[in-house]
């Protein structure tokens, strides 16, 4: 394996004939061939806002970043980001989830095009179920955001923006092959015709993995059609379908060589958007169906498979008024008012916990005020009220400021309340003498405080950020033996989480861009004094780009990785590094049609750390592929 791997790597480098560091042809436009440091964010306030004026810490990952990462799922794209920790059970088909600033995965809200996709049964989502091929952009909000987004935004929010057909007519097909009998086939097509544009994508992926019963076989399909009703109004319809068949190998101590899981998901989303000079309006309706089938015939007391069918229907509305005035005579008030609400209905049909359903509603309002006499100051105040059919209402306020110290430097600070709702599993898990749910659970409550300094120079090629934060969490839901030795959840936990994040991004020249980040986290269980999360994380990335020949064909190469140290429970420190390469060859210059060769190596040094005890991650993998435009 080792000799074969290095032979393929050397052969590829010779084939594409790339002088990485001594080039005589320069890139025409850096921002066309590499990445840009994003200045505009939406997730922090529900409307487009300059990053330097936001009162939140936000990370943006664009399509170019996603393409060069060569990741197979969302977890691979975001694993190097400051403040984030990936929980990975190791094998290709095993569960992958994310923590933000010391949260649990259930305390992180995941959205696709603004629609919440957290599973009401478990409270989280398997990041492996989100295919990379459909993603255009990712916005990550570090810190509690329940004042805007409601339940489960206690740790942070991740919004995935899917691709669309708003660009010129283009299609691409690709085939990729790697070790562990891995094969992947992708295709997408986009077009724009007058007031109609559309995007379709499909992906098939199969691998045997490196452990017994670690196979993964998945199909992902997506279609999006957008209709321009008039110059100010759009209507978008998207459909997603996923089918994932996977082996669940279990831990090294308790292997499950015959356990199988199948996930099927269908999602329909309809969005109406209106953009006026001083007002934006968004209305969205959706339906989501998820079927999970799990069977381990070797389990003690096995009586058959577990089947869970979850239906979610939702409706949301929000409106942003720019230059809003509380005084009709004052048209230059400096207020930006955002308000709205949503309604969600969940219905679960489960062989384990029966039929469960709930109806939840919410309203919110937020005002961002820039006083005329203090134009460098921005004050934000927001409040959201959620009513949950099972455990009642929750008020979640947040206030903050952002101050422009200089044109390129800003300071922000905020304080807010957030919460996490108990899941169906927490509430209703069936009694069997060993484990059982607790229908009397209350939501987890957190108060969070943070401040930071951000720098972005005028040229946009340097971006730096320093954040400090504290979060006090009460009524944590802990599963532990009760007086009758039955494992049951209860609101007995409390935690204090303090941390520091340092982020630096730099475009060195027209070919190189790099980033460094460091996260310090002191997450303590206040009842036991135990450390809950790793204390140190170091992340880095370096990307190279150049253009060759008259057609200015792109070559890109990326090296990225991260180191985790100071882990709790005597778990070993670890490091993971990846290398990715792309090389374009123009076949039709007039139509801008290209063939692309790509090569990636994940886990470059073949490490086998256990991110979860007893579940080592997969060893070194490589993937070699070719794609062609049509």
- Residue 11: pLDDT over 60: no
What was the pLDDT predicted at 9?
A: 46
- Residue 331: pLDDT over 90: no
Q: Output 295 or 69, whichever has higher pLDDT.
A: 295
SS3 302: coil
Place of tokens 């049909």: 349
Q: Where does the pLDDT of residue 1 fall: very low under 50, low under 70, confident under 90, or very high at 90 and above?
A: very low
What was the pLDDT predicted at 194?
A: 85
Are 343 and 367 spatial neighbours (Cβ–Cβ below 8 Å)? no
Taking the C-alpha atoms of 135, 137, 140 and 141 in order, what is their torsion angle to the nearest 10 degrees?
-120
Q: Output 413 or 301, whichever has higher pLDDT.
A: 413
Lowest-pLDDT choice from 22-31, 120-129, 269-278, 407-416 = 22-31
Dig out the tokens for 194 from the structure: 């007058």
Q: Which residues contact 501 (CB under 8 A, 6 or more apart)?
A: 57, 82, 83, 142, 452, 465, 466, 467, 469, 517, 518, 519, 520
pLDDT, tens digit (0-9, with 9 covering 90-100), for 520-551: 999 999 989 999 999 999 999 999 999 887 77
Share of the chain above pLDDT 70, in %: 93
| Cα–Cα distance measured from residue 177 to residue 183, given in angstroms and rounded to the nearest whole number | 5
Q: At 520, give phi and psi (nearest 5°).
A: -110, 130
Q: Where does the pLDDT of residue 7 fall: very low under 50, low under 70, confident under 90, or very high at 90 and above?
A: very low
DSSP letter for 142, please: E
pLDDT, tens digit (0-9, with 9 covering 90-100), for 87-127: 999 989 899 999 999 999 999 999 999 999 999 999 999 99
What was the pLDDT predicted at 37?
A: 52
Are 267 and 288 spatial neighbours (Cβ–Cβ below 8 Å)? yes
Count of domains in the chain? 1
pLDDT, tens digit (0-9, with 9 covering 90-100), for 232-283: 999 999 999 999 999 999 999 999 999 999 999 999 999 999 999 899 999 9
| CA torsion through residues 554, 70, 64, 227, sign | positive
What was the pLDDT predicted at 460?
A: 80
DSSP secondary structure string, 330-381?
A: -S---EEEEEEEEEEEEEEEETTTEEEEEEEEEEEEEEEE--GGGTTEEEEE
Lowest-pLDDT choice from 40-44, 214-218, 405-409, 622-626 = 40-44
What was the pLDDT predicted at 255?
A: 96
Euclidean distance between the first and final Cα of the chain, in Å? 35
- Residue 3: pLDDT over 60: no
Question: In 10 A of CB 262, how many CB atoms?
Answer: 16
Q: At 235, give phi and psi (nearest 5°).
A: -130, 125
DSSP secondary structure string, 589-604?
A: TTTTEEEEEEEEEEST
Residue in 532, 603, 613, 538 with CA at minimum distance from that of residue 571:
613
SS3 428: helix
What was the pLDDT predicted at 329?
A: 60
What was the pLDDT predicted at 325?
A: 76
Mean per-residue pLDDT, 195-223: 96
pLDDT, tens digit (0-9, with 9 covering 90-100), for 341-352: 999 999 999 999
pLDDT, tens digit (0-9, with 9 covering 90-100), for 47-93: 999 888 899 999 999 998 898 888 989 999 999 999 999 999 998 98
Segments forming the whole domain that contains residue 511: 2-629
Q: Where does the pLDDT of residue 143 fall: very low under 50, low under 70, confident under 90, or very high at 90 and above?
A: very high
CATH of the domain at 365: 2.40.170.20
Give the Å distances, CA to CA, from 597 to 21, 467, 583.
20, 39, 5
What was the pLDDT predicted at 68?
A: 84
Place of tokens 């694993």: 79
- Residue 289: pLDDT over 80: yes
Could you tell me whether strands 108-112 and 156-162 are parallel, antiparallel, or unpaired per DSSP bridges?
Answer: parallel
Share of the chain above pLDDT 90, in %: 77
DSSP secondary structure string, 187-204?
A: EEEEEEETTEEEEEEEEE
DSSP secondary structure string, 437-490?
A: --TT---EEEEEEEEEEEEE-TTS-EEEEEEEEEEEEEEEEEEEE-TTS-EEEE
What was the pLDDT predicted at 127?
A: 95
The kind and range of the H/E element at 424 are: helix 424-428
Q: Helix, strand, coil % (nearest 5) of the chain?
A: 10, 60, 35
Are 580 and 557 spatial neighbours (Cβ–Cβ below 8 Å)? yes
Please state, rounded to an integer, the average pLDDT across all residues of the chain. Answer: 91
Mean per-residue pLDDT, 429-455: 94
């Amino acid at each position: 394996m080792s000799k074969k791997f290095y032979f393929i790597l050397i052969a590829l480098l010779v084939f594409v004939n790339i002088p990485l560091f001594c080039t005589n042809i320069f890139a025409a436009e850096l921002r066309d061939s590499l990445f840009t440091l994003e200045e505009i964010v939406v997730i922090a306030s529900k409307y487009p806002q300059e990053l330097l004026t936001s009162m939140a810490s936000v990370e943006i990952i664009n399509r170019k970043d996603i393409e060069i990462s060569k990741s197979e799922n969302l977890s691979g794209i975001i694993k190097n980001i400051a403040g984030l920790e990936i929980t990975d059970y190791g094998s290709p088909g095993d569960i992958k989830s994310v923590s933000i600033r010391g949260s649990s995965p259930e305390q992180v809200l995941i959205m696709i095009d603004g629609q919440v996709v957290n599973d009401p049964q478990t409270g989280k989502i398997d990041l492996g179920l989100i295919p990379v091929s459909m993603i255009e952009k990712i916005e990550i909000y570090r810190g509690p955001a329940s004042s805007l987004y409601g339940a489960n935004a206690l740790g942070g929010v991740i919004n995935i923006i899917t691709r669309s057909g708003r660009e010129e007519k283009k299609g691409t097909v690709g085939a990729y092959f790697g070790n562990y009998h891995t094969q992947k086939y992708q295709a997408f097509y986009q077009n724009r015709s007058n007031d109609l544009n559309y995007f379709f994508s499909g992906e098939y992926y199969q691998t045997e993995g490196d452990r017994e019963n670690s196979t993964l076989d998945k199909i992902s399909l997506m279609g999006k059609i957008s209709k321009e009703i008039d110059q100010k109004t759009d209507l978008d319809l998207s459909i997603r379908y996923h089918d994932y068949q996977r082996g669940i190998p279990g831990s090294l101590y308790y292997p499950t060589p015959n356990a199988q899981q199948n996930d099927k998901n269908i999602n329909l989303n309809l969005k109406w958007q209106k953009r006026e000079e001083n007002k934006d309006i968004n209305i969205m309706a959706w339906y989501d169906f998820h079927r999970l089938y799990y069977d381990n015939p070797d389990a003690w007391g096995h009586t058959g498979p577990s089947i869970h069918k979850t239906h979610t229907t939702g409706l949301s509305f929000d409106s942003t008024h720019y230059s809003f005035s509380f005084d009709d005579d004052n048209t230059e008030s400096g207020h930006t008012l955002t308000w709205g609400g949503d309604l969600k209905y969940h219905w679960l049909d489960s062989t384990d916990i029966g039929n469960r359903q709930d109806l939840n509603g919410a309203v919110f309002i937020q005002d961002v005020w820039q006083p005329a006499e203090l134009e460098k100051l921005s004050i934000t105040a927001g409040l959201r009220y959620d009513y949950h059919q099972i455990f009642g209402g929750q008020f979640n306020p947040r206030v903050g400021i952002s101050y422009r110290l200089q044109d390129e430097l800003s300071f922000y600070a905020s304080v807010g309340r957030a919460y996490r709702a108990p899941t169906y599993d927490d509430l209703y898990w069936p009694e069997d003498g060993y484990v059982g749910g607790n229908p009397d659970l209350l939501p987890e409550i957190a108060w969070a405080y943070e401040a930071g300094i951000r720098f972005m120079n005028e040229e946009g090629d340097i971006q730096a950020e320093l954040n400090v934060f504290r979060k006090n969490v009460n009524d944590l839901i802990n599963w532990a033996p009760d007086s009758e030795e039955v494992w049951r959840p209860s609101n007995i936990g409390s935690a204090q989480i303090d941390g520091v994040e340092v982020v630096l991004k730099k475009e060195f020249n027209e070919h190189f861009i790099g980033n460094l980040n460091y996260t310090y986290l002191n997450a303590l269980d206040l009842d036991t004094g135990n450390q809950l999360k790793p204390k140190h994380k170091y992340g880095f990335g370096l990307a190279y780009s150049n253009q060759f020949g008259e057609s200015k064909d792109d070559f890109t190469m990326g090296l990225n990785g991260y180191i985790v140290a100071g882990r709790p429970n005597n778990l070993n420190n670890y490091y993971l590094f990846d290398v990715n390469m792309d090389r374009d060859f123009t076949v039709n210059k007039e139509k801008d049609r290209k063939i692309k060769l790509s090569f990636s190596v994940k886990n470059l040094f073949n490490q086998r750390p256990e991110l979860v005890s007893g579940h080592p991650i997969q060893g070194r993998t490589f993937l070699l592929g070719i794609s062609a435009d049509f």
